[in-house]
Structure 1
């Protein structure tokens, strides 16, 4: 059957009936035929129906509906789509909160269950009047897909059998009733209990926690979970803003988690589990995403996390506007014939001259608006960040040295300085161009190499010749002492220090005496400074104090 078997009048009538079921007005265009996402794919591999929120357009795969022998279910399918949009609007922010919680409750889950959750909400309402039409869709979906039904989908359909008073085997394959009961004893009773409990819960948070605690039993390998639904093309993936807000606002779920624990759905969670490190949560939420999209999203979320940490250390922010006026007007003077008409300040003329403004206007010249004196003389800052294996990758765990580099970078950029980053380990250091904004610098300084440590002294020499008088800051640990001790000729290092405005080594070291012994040749140079950090957790504060000492006037 082709889309032409559904006349425009048939579609319009089903659309009106679907809207009437919800008794709402929605800003959605009437349904249009689905155009294949992949021209070579069979229509059974394409979604049955979905809403394009950008175009605010509903699309229906009429060919698939006909193949499923469910053409009489068009009203129910459209009502399902409208329900997502009107009654259960899974906003991207709400969906992000659910994804964060499900990854904490079901770590490593490859595919999100949020669409199953939303469909359970929507179909309860649609099924009050169109249960049989929805059943026709699910039966047809099984015929098209073929193969053995997964435990997850079996339990999902068993819930509908209980909800709509159907006999066991009406929706799920009758041949799988006994084998599934053997694999999951009490599965039928659990489906009945779910249908009686889920819809009686007072809010969506409790519903979702109960949903996760129940469905996890039927997911044998979370890391391998892949499933498709006949009405499963509705949910868009939250963007970085939505996920960032959900990760850092998870405390809003504390009351619901307490209630779920009291009801016995969840094992009591420790304070540490409740307050799981944001970087761990970011990794879990993005790990299952396909291709490079997960890496890009993870990098953006990690960058947001480090920005929060940087802002905790830099308390004093610049007060200059982000778009300063390049010119200021001078003292007003009388405009005379022959003067530039564009210099007339008509607003001031009317306010001061009244009705004589047209006869005797005032003019004001423009002069350059120089930066405030407090911002003048801030040097360029070059940051050498050690990313050897002695510290964790900043995307997987809090890297204190990366945080220190970000604090120094942000401090300099907020003082209108330029910043260049050098991320090094054992070979092939990464060198940024001179950077002018925090986001670019923050992203670069999240780079990580790993492995052993070899400070790039030749690069220090070259860059100090390229831009003398820059301030250079080295962030490392005891490996830097080993690098210095291994250098046979320190003269190029000393020459680099002498060319620079200042070279500061910020090192994580408990032994000050050893550091001063190894670095004694450098410490004799008046442009070299040593800052020791006893514990890695002190790096952020040490960097903030250093930035204030070096950059504040």
Structure 2
């Protein structure tokens, strides 16, 4: 175990390989299999953890590969993952997604491919910039005849001008030679923008695993995989609603050369690949929040004049019976050195002037989103209903409004927030849920909530399709029309319905709702909801800032 102290003493030197200003907690050495299991370090002798920016090292595995003399090489490599490639969870996620696109049916291998790709950049930097013995580390791991391993090692031979056979084993095929040449140029061309080469690298790797549909059994390869669970213990990353995919070698129309929009299932798969153990509601919440942020718009607010301001106009005689704290002692003393209550005492006199202060009173949002079987599942595919709801709800929260969200499907089948709240996470977790059952609008929620006017005005917004007619056609013990009319009147902030209607002009319930005061927004498809979410606020509130 003596080498551990040596490695600990070289930690600062390893940090300086990247910069004099890099600060990370010292590497953690694991001395037993139980410690390795607890930390999730199984097949590899080193790993990183982005949650606490730690480097983990297996003492036993380092000894088994006889790597005790390579402190700077290994420590510098692991630090490189933290400060260079990938650097953070969002960049790691982008690389995983791009690799998934390039390797259909083999997505379970993409974390490994991403790891190998990142290692190429880090090792090439350490070899060329710091002249470390990176090739000797691989020699310690040993040669083998595995085609993928030889392709990987041949790439290093070309990068570092090593003779053929230094790291490779046996006669190399023309395909391996060609692939290694392409990748070596790729590493040199994109040293600071490695996302540009990820698709091409994964596409080159794909045949090595697809032809036999078998994962490489190489222990050497597995011992190098130090970023597989880099996201363990972390929340899903943000900033991944769209990822740009570039390709010089394998351009695919509609895939490369443009920004790809991730689906919720893509996002969930990426999180799983990085070791993020989050439930589906947490992942879906983060996904729709990211999708909504670029579209946020101002929300309705009531602007009123502030309270009148007092202005000092002078003094008058203070008489007994008036509160003693009103006496202006300074002015009274100036008037007469001898204080005689009721004769020499004075008090201040104030008038009123208009206030320049504007009091903002946000209008709360009561949002009802149809979640019946005719609607998409927001946890699997992009749901424009959910996205529009997220845009409007988050816009409301920005101005201080409170929001109640209700997902509704069949009879007595609904999910709602705990009243009107300002917790965006709880709001979006309800909004991103799914029932997929029948259709029956929850009249009981309107009836119970609007028995009397709320303290602040509210706007009721309903997103649905032709199923909105269940608002009046369901078998309810009291008159639905009276309940709906009363809710609209008591809310005092208006009501809107955005509806995908098959026959907009032939739905008697919709016509009746419009005549009774509801603003009806018919749409042709769910993508129109994005435009609606912006027009909705612009039409009703931004042009008319003062509401009465």
Give the TM-score of the pair, scaled to structure 1: 0.69
Residue 123 of structure 1 corresponds to 123
Residue 487 of structure 2 corresponds to 500
CA contact (8 A) 1:17 1:75 kept: yes
Supply the distance in 1 between the matched residues of 2:479 and 2:511 (Cα, whole angstroms). Answer: 16
Residue 106 of structure 1 corresponds to 103
Residue 450 of structure 1 corresponds to 436
Residues 399-548 of structure 1 correspond to what in structure 2 (within 5 A)? 399-410=383-394, 412-413=396-397, 416-427=400-411, 428-437=413-422, 439=424, 440-465=426-451, 471-481=459-469, 484-485=472-473, 487-488=474-475, 491-502=478-489, 504-516=496-508, 518=509, 526=516, 530-547=520-537
Structure holding more strand per residue: 2
One of 239, 247, 250 as aligned partner of 1:245: 239
CA drift at 1:420 = 1.6
Supply the distance in 2 between the matched residues of 1:504 and 1:22 (Cα, whole angstroms). Answer: 57
Residues 214 and 319 (structure 1 numbering): CA distance in 2 closer, same or farther, change over 3 Å?
Answer: farther
Supply the distance in 2 between the matched residues of 1:80 and 1:437 (Cα, whole angstroms). Answer: 45
One of 292, 301, 320 as aligned partner of 1:306: 292
CA drift at 1:452 = 2.8
Look up the SS of the partner of 1:232 in the other structure. Answer: coil
CA drift at 1:305 = 0.3
CA contact (8 A) 1:70 1:133 kept: no
Query: Structure 1 residue 156 and structure 2 residue 152: aligned?
Result: yes
One of 7, 10, 28 as aligned partner of 1:11: 7
Supply the distance in 2 between the matched residues of 1:290 and 1:57 (Cα, whole angstroms). Answer: 15
Query: Structure 1 residue 74 and structure 2 residue 71: aligned?
Result: yes
Deviations 1:426-455 (A, max 9, x none): 252101123343724344322222233222
CA drift at 1:467 = 6.7
Supply the distance in 2 between the matched residues of 1:319 and 1:481 (Cα, whole angstroms). Answer: 32
Give the TM-score of the pair, scaled to structure 2: 0.69
Residue 332 of structure 2 corresponds to none
Q: Which moved more, 1:191-200 or 1:439-448?
A: 191-200
CA drift at 1:59 = 4.6
Look up the SS of the partner of 2:464 in the other structure. Answer: strand
CA contact (8 A) 2:233 2:276 kept: no
One of 95, 99, 107 as aligned partner of 2:92: 95
Residue 208 of structure 2 corresponds to 218
CA drift at 1:74 = 3.4
Residues 97 and 6 (structure 1 numbering): CA distance in 2 closer, same or farther, change over 3 Å?
Answer: same
What residue ranges of structure 1 are gaps of 5+ in the alignment?
Answer: 143-147, 321-325, 341-361
Output the aligned Cα RMSD: 5.0
Supply the distance in 2 between the matched residues of 1:275 and 1:88 (Cα, whole angstroms). Answer: 21
Residues 240 and 35 (structure 1 numbering): CA distance in 2 closer, same or farther, change over 3 Å?
Answer: closer
Residues 188 and 543 (structure 1 numbering): CA distance in 2 closer, same or farther, change over 3 Å?
Answer: closer
Look up the SS of the partner of 2:368 in the other structure. Answer: strand
Residues 319 and 12 (structure 1 numbering): CA distance in 2 closer, same or farther, change over 3 Å?
Answer: farther
Supply the distance in 2 between the matched residues of 1:242 and 1:391 (Cα, whole angstroms). Answer: 25
CA drift at 1:85 = 5.4
